Structure 1
Amino acid sequence: MENPSITLEFPYNVAMSLFAPKNVKSTDAQFQSFMRFKNEFDPVADRLVECMHRDGKAVWEMFNHALEHGIDIVVNPPSELVEFFREVDRVPYWLDYTRLDSATDLIAMVGDEALPIFIAGLALSYVAPDANEVLIRSGDLHKKAGKRAVETLAWYNEVTAPGGLARFGAGLKACVRIRLIHAHMRRAMNGREDWNRTLLGNPIHQCIYVATIIPFSLASSLGALALGHVDVLSSKKRGDIVHLWRYIGYLVDVHPELQPADESDLWRLVWLQMHDAYKMDHITPMLGGALFGALPEILGKDESTFSGMVTLKIKRSYYGNLARIILGNRLADALSFPKYSIGIVMIAASFLKNASVNLVAKLVPGGQESVRRRQMRRRKIIMSSIIDRTNADLSFVR
């Protein structure tokens, strides 16, 4: 098979030459094997959703109780709920908590700059037409764009926080809720008259699961590097980030064959996705435009004031230019993101500042831990402010 043309463009040509294995290309047989996952879903979650629709609110209450305290204390749970939580409680043999800690510590060093990195990662998931067809049917594209982004940002914040993926950690519980919501959405799409299976295929299949997990894994590394967190140049650190996202994929029920075991696996999946999933459609600029249009709501800036207008102009340039570095010109253009402007100078300044701070922190005893705590405090304050301002629904019941 030929390389997807986008892999020959910046930043993928540079990133793949530095980090990807030389034999990243797939054979026809491997590609066909990958494509079969368009007919694979999450039968355990699907059965639980059918149970919830059949038996009503009581099962939702049992679900929330089991999520917070464990399935064993739930009285007379239905078999579908027991089956689901037996999977939730199962810990894969390959999980290495030390590597999770390493990855979350590195992401913690990024602090509140994780927000523009997240925006780029979320935007990358908008160039997958199979996923877009579901999003466009969720309604109120522009009205809900900010809240939808903040809810996903809160999930990203929780799964990448130190300790977040412990059994009763906020990140793990958020992953379990997301897994169930995917099943609810799949059921809803299957019941819609405007979901033409002949034209659109199956809704929310396993290839979509991968297409929405990969962007955050890639953006975490490429964005951190672009902003001067040079520890990402370490293959071990990048491998730890992949390990983190492998476990996140496991928790939302990405099929075991689609969970990247290491960085080489990740790049092979990226190559396959660029061949199949990442193909911009007419919905891509609508979603990208709605996301960028929601920045005033997300950031809490009032465009009607002069200071708010100037601040937003600077922020849009910074966020848009960082996304362009991470995604490349072709995808950024398809998403209607801003062209390179003054933001590129600010990104260069961030690179120099962060690289210098991280270097000094390594030389000073306890320096890295001090920087990490400060960055986490800033990130927590900003996240709390964003969530309160947008009234985001972190239970995902909506």
Structure 2
Amino acid sequence: MTPTRFYYPSPGFSIYWKSGNGKKLAEKLTGNFPAKAAIEQFIPRLFETDELADRVIREVYQVHGFKQADQWITQLLDGEKGKDVPESLHQIIIQITHKPSWLNPEWLEKGAALCRRSGSIGLMVLRNYCLMGGYESSAINKPLVFTGALKKGAAKRLTETTEFWVRIVGENAITSTQNGLKECLKIRLMHAYARVSILDEGKWRESDWGAPLNQWDMLATNLGFSIIFLDGIRKLGMKPTQEEIRGLFHFWKYVGYLLGTPESYFPESESEAIRAIYAWTITQAPADEDTLALALALTLEPLDGPFPDKNWQKKLVYKTHLGYNWYFLGKASCETMQLPKTIWRIFPPIQRFFVNLGQPFVHLSTKSYQRSVKRNRKAQTKVVNAYLESHGRKTITGR
């Protein structure tokens, strides 16, 4: 069965690849884009879900409650034997704590280090390219609408996404049971809980949208953190090395594996990633009213939220983010999502110029590289912690 959300070629994303920023991204592709027939082979993934995580929700959370479930998870991650723990929870803990044979700690850390080295630039890319760009797809955002994301406000999702990203890219964080693994399990079960809740409500139309939070959409989200993130930091003047790029894709393959997506789905090179994100984007249906509502909510988030606290600062941040939106997404996408034009579109190219000037000094020596990672990570956590504090959230510590 082909759901109606499969729309080839996508009217919005076709422009991105032909004349928008995607055209420059396509220049890094080795060979040709996949044809329609090849892309259609991925349609079954729209109906695939993380069945093990769904079982945990139904057998653990819905039966024993959140408090007991969280207590068991803490015990199991600490290496203790939880009493009367359901088998599905045992299985998911075994899965995430198992180190796959393909996992390379050196590549893992190089990818995480690139994310830390991106500093506040990386945060801008995540918010204004990866997150806002994803809103143009009406289908992938349907679960957000069903779970009440609009009513909860854009700040909640932005805070959760940014906090997750910053925590797991910390030095050696992703392999720690008390940090990266725990964070990934939390997000994985959050996705499963949303999926099970949506399906139990009985209003989801699988023939239109596929399964909620399906494996192809999960892959697309992961690609946002890898290939789109890479494209974004380059657009702002950073020059990642080939080792960093290889590490970035390795890192997000492992994160995707921890989040419950089959490891074979993930690209291991930039060219493979471009093909994968093309195949997903080029089949997306046109933007709809939910797209506009989500985009508007994220746009107004600086004005509506507690951070920053002064009105002039709120207006400045609001206009700055819009400038990045227009720079990353281009005219067609921003007009589709009805994002206001702003003179601040001139700021990212200026920033790119100065960031580009400093890149040769980053790679002068191992010490200079390490200083750059440390300095930018400090700036990164400073920005995030100020935001988290304003929302009453626990701040991030560590490197």
Match of 2:118 in 1: 110
Stretch of structure 1 that moved more, 177-186 or 211-220 = 211-220
Stretch of structure 1 that moved more, 173-182 or 377-386 = 377-386
Mapping 1:262-301, distance limit 5 Å: 262-277=269-284, 279-296=286-303, 300-301=307-308
Mapping 1:361-380, distance limit 5 Å: 361-363=362-364, 366-380=367-381
Once the two structures are TM-superposed, the CA of residue 297 in structure 1 deviates from its matched residue by 5.5
Match of 1:82 in 2: 90
For residues 249 and 149 of structure 2, the distance between their equivalents in structure 1, rounded to whole angstroms, comes to 34
1:15 to 25, 42, 45: 25
Once the two structures are TM-superposed, the CA of residue 343 in structure 1 deviates from its matched residue by 3.7
Match of 1:337 in 2: 339
Identity, in percent, stands at 20
Once the two structures are TM-superposed, the CA of residue 269 in structure 1 deviates from its matched residue by 1.0
Once the two structures are TM-superposed, the CA of residue 217 in structure 1 deviates from its matched residue by 1.6
Task: Note if 1:247 corresponds to 2:269.
Answer: no
Task: Note if 1:261 corresponds to 2:268.
Answer: yes
User: TM-score, normalising length from structure 1?
Assistant: 0.87
1:43/1:191 CA distance change after superposition, 3 Å: same
CA contact (8 A) 1:317 1:338 kept: no
- Higher RCO, 1 vs 2 (CA within 8 Å, ≥6 residues apart): 2
For residues 259 and 365 of structure 2, the distance between their equivalents in structure 1, rounded to whole angstroms, comes to 40
Match of 1:388 in 2: 389
Match of 2:102 in 1: 94
* Structure 2 residue identity aligned to 1:291: L
Match of 2:211 in 1: 202
Once the two structures are TM-superposed, the CA of residue 261 in structure 1 deviates from its matched residue by 2.4
For residues 243 and 182 of structure 2, the distance between their equivalents in structure 1, rounded to whole angstroms, comes to 27
1:318/1:343 CA distance change after superposition, 3 Å: farther
For residues 61 and 361 of structure 1, the distance between their equivalents in structure 2, rounded to whole angstroms, comes to 44
CA offsets per residue over residues 69-94 of structure 1, 9 Å max, x none?
Answer: 14x53233221111111111122222
For residues 167 and 278 of structure 1, the distance between their equivalents in structure 2, rounded to whole angstroms, comes to 39
Task: Note if 1:31 corresponds to 2:33.
Answer: no
1:2/1:338 CA distance change after superposition, 3 Å: closer
CA contact (8 A) 1:317 1:342 kept: yes
SS at match of 1:156: helix
For residues 278 and 266 of structure 1, the distance between their equivalents in structure 2, rounded to whole angstroms, comes to 21
* Structure 1 residue identity aligned to 2:121: E
Match of 1:319 in 2: 321
SS at match of 1:351: helix
User: TM-score, normalising length from structure 2?
Assistant: 0.87
CA contact (8 A) 1:104 1:162 kept: yes
Stretch of structure 1 that moved more, 265-274 or 346-355 = 346-355
CA offsets per residue over residues 141-161 of structure 1, 9 Å max, x none?
Answer: 154211221111101112222
Aligned-residue RMSD, C-alpha: 2.5
CA contact (8 A) 2:327 2:348 kept: no
For residues 126 and 278 of structure 1, the distance between their equivalents in structure 2, rounded to whole angstroms, comes to 12
SS at match of 2:201: coil
For residues 43 and 374 of structure 1, the distance between their equivalents in structure 2, rounded to whole angstroms, comes to 41
* Structure 1 residue identity aligned to 2:281: M
CA offsets per residue over residues 201-258 of structure 1, 9 Å max, x none?
Answer: 3222112212222222233212211221123xx4443232222211111111112342
